[in-house]
Chains A and B, each alone.
Chain A
Amino acid sequence: MSYRVRSVFKQTVDYPHQGAAVFMVFPAITLMIIILLIPVLVALVFSFSSYSLGSNHFEWVGLDNYQRLFSRSNYQKMFSATFTYVAIVVPFSVVLGLGAALLIHSLRFAQDFYKTIYFLPVMASLLAMAIVWEFTLHPTIGLINDTLASGCDISWLYHLLTGSWYGVDPTNSWYGNGCMRGFPLWLGNKNYALWTVAFISIWQAFGFNMVLYLAGLSSISRDLYNAADMDGALSSWSSFWLVTWPMLGPTTVFVVTITMIRSFQVFDTIEVLTKGGPVKSTYVMMYAIYEKAIQQNLVGMGSAITILFLAFVMVLTIVQRWLVERKVHYS
């Protein structure tokens, strides 16, 4: 058997043993198709049906599932919760990660100590930590509301926090209101729940970003900072903009993408703390997939959300590749 292969030089070359090569890669390609591609294709097929696991009944519903996704208010809440969550978590955890990395990088000693401390939340199981947070945020016995309430009895602190020293009516301020009517339920209040969950995620994610930024920082040549000094960069602020920030470009693109994908995938905190509530305010995509496909056995609907989720992640990845190739790799 012989194949005519077009090489990069636009010449046709005869390889007499091409068949052997196909034989060699066959197992790897088969595995790749079975493990990686077929599940996605199956999900795609299910997303056009109303199939439930275990039933003999399989009915094509066409684009019905997708239509529901974009028209029902439940799913609109799902999109809004997911995107709000991502929009909160990504900027905060990236900026905090960069800030922590810059601070730690400038230390002369105890770098490892701080690295370990900030990396602890990443290493700890989020499930376990979520339980700790649940206690902390508990409306009546939680540490946070206890602390806030204890400030109401200290008059100077009360005046300071309510703004009454400035002539503001204490009952109009957030703190004064809290003192009178009780502080928010955090996870039980639809206005606070998403922000609270996002806060926990930022707390957990920025240590990871810090480690990535530290790796990026240590790869910047000292000569560039010296050159910036000689060229007249008077403050560390100017050498940050002249050297550090542009040289961290590839790291930043990677950090932003990975944080976005991880935030899209948030599930464990939601499952433990809010179960998508209250009033669907924390009903993120992953939780919706779980609820539909696993709890309610609506495999068709779950698959449709899954496909949409994959599409988002795919777009993100393509944008990242494009950015990396075009903008931030300078060679």
Chain B
Amino acid sequence: MAHLKLEKIHKNFGDTQIIKALNLSINDGEFLTLVGPSGCGKSTLLRIIAGLEQQSSGHVFIADISVDTQKPSKRDLAMVFQSYALYPHLSVFDNIAVPLRMRLLNFWQRLPIIRKCIYGTRQQDKNIYNQVTEVAETLGLTALLDRKPGKLSGGQRQRVAVGRAIVRQPQAFLFDEPLSNLDAKLRVHMRAEITRLHQQLKTTFIYVTHDQAEAMTMSDRIAVMMEGEIVQIGTPAEVYRNPCDIRVAQFIGSPEINILGGQILDTDLISLWDQLIDISLACAKTNTQSKDSDISIGVRPENIFLVSSSTNHSKPKITIQGKITLIENLGAEVFAYISINEKGCSKEIMIRLSHEAAIGIHANQLIDIGFLIESLLIFDAVGKRIYSSPSNRNKKQPCTNHKVSRRADMIDVLSSQISV
């Protein structure tokens, strides 16, 4: 159990920069997920924490001790690999016992025959046996202890890999996309099991995934990585409701957020499909937003509703007519694709309706849809968030917060330089 800290981590492979000046602090006992598209450097970051990869510059601290020069085996971390990396020649029992044997037994005690002549080996063997069987029991592997990994199914191998990690009490657990080789059903099941494991062990978990659903369901905090940087870090709810970057908004949430093109007309007036929206761009003043510049307007599919004579929202909203092109019925909810023709260009947006709301709609039907202005997420031309709805405005602003924390870090660094 320990608190981890990364300071100004850089990583280059040749001329390509994989990770750029990355700072991250992980609290004791926290479940932190690093999520991002493939190639964003999240696995590399995890391997840097583990010590399997050496950072080009920057520092890693575990429990406030710098581990930059320490070998992976000395860092006291445990890792579950995407390929599981089980030793194929060892039985399940021996696989789980390896971390204990490597640490509890000395060189002579690991030798085949001589080990029995050394005092204390038997005691340690008993100790290891008890710990391994205990772990096997929690993971439901007791019946499989004699089997070789080659004779196990994917899910069972995954469990053995987890067992090998939790048999010790390391400072933190590292998971490198552990569920990506499992089928969809098993993945959902193991997701819950790993979350439960975290509740039981109360140790720091660092979990790397490209699957936003895993990130949303399992973590205490999510760090969204794009192109070697952490774009946003926060609780799953914060990252979902209050994304500070268009890439985060697009990456988190399934089905994907609808992005519509709009324009800024004035400091408190934007246009969308020739309709004027009167909102005050609170953050806009801090950014350099000029008039007539293009913006992207994001609306989550569940925030769009069908407008009929009976619906009557008192809050300001935008309505538009479109044609339903496709309906996907998932049982509990219904996804509808609606094509909108405005100013000669067509745009398809997706809406997510409850089963009841979708009764009576069919493909090729013309329909009025609408969304509340307060549910809009507005991003400037480079993708930075520039509008926060009044309901969110009182809460912490992740975008500005991030900057504050960066500034604080810089002050830290400056003061340390001064003290040197």
Contact = CB atoms under 8 A, between A and B. Distances in A.
Interface of A: 221, 223-224, 226-227, 229-234, 238, 241-243, 246-247, 249, 328, 330-331
Nearest to A329: B150
Given A221-B83, A223-B81, A242-B98, A230 B50 contact: yes
B83 A223 contact: yes
A230 B73 contact: yes
Contact of A223 (B50, B72, B85, B107): B85
Interface string B124-149: 00000000000000000000000011
Main secondary structure of the interface of A (DSSP, over half): helix
Given A226-B52, A242-B87, A231 B81 contact: no
8 contacts: A223-B85, A226-B85, A227-B86, A229-B71, A234-B74, A238-B102, A249-B89, A330-B88
B99 interface: yes
B148 A330 contact: yes
A229 B86 CA distance: 13
Interface size class of B (residues with CB under 8 A): 20 to 34
Contacts of B77: 230
Contacts of A247: 88-89
B338 interface: no
B53 to A, nearest CB: 10
Given A221-B83, A227-B85, A330-B89, A234 B71 contact: yes
Given A229-B52, A234-B73, A246 B89 contact: yes
A229 B98 CA distance: 11
B170 to A, nearest CB: 9
Nearest to B47: A226
Nearest to B167: A231
B221 interface: no
Nearest to B148: A330
Q: Which 3 A-B pairs have the closest CB atoms?
A: A331-B150, A232-B102, A227-B85
B58 to A, nearest CB: 21
B89 A221 contact: no
A232 B83 contact: no
Contacts of B150: 330-331
Contacts of B47: 226
B85 A246 contact: no
A328 B148 CA distance: 12
B89 A232 contact: no
A231 B89 contact: no
A224 B87 contact: yes
A232 to B, nearest CB: 4
B62 interface: no
Contacts of A232: 73, 99, 102-103
A330 B151 CA distance: 9
A174 B74 CA distance: 50
A237 B386 CA distance: 57
B353 interface: no
Given A242-B87, A246-B89, A330-B149, 17 more contacts: A223-B83, A227-B164, A229-B73, A230-B73, A230-B79, A231-B73, A231-B99, A231-B164, A232-B99, A233-B73, A233-B102, A234-B71, A234-B73, A238-B107, A246-B90, A247-B89, A330-B88
A224 B102 contact: no
A247 B89 CA distance: 8
A229 B81 CA distance: 12
* Interface-central residue, A223, A231, A241, by most chain B CB under 10 Å: A231
Contacts of A249: 89
A328 B78 CA distance: 28
Given A234-B73, A331-B150, A221 B85 contact: yes
Nearest to B50: A230
Contacts of A238: 102, 107, 110
Nearest to A246: B89
Nearest to A231: B99
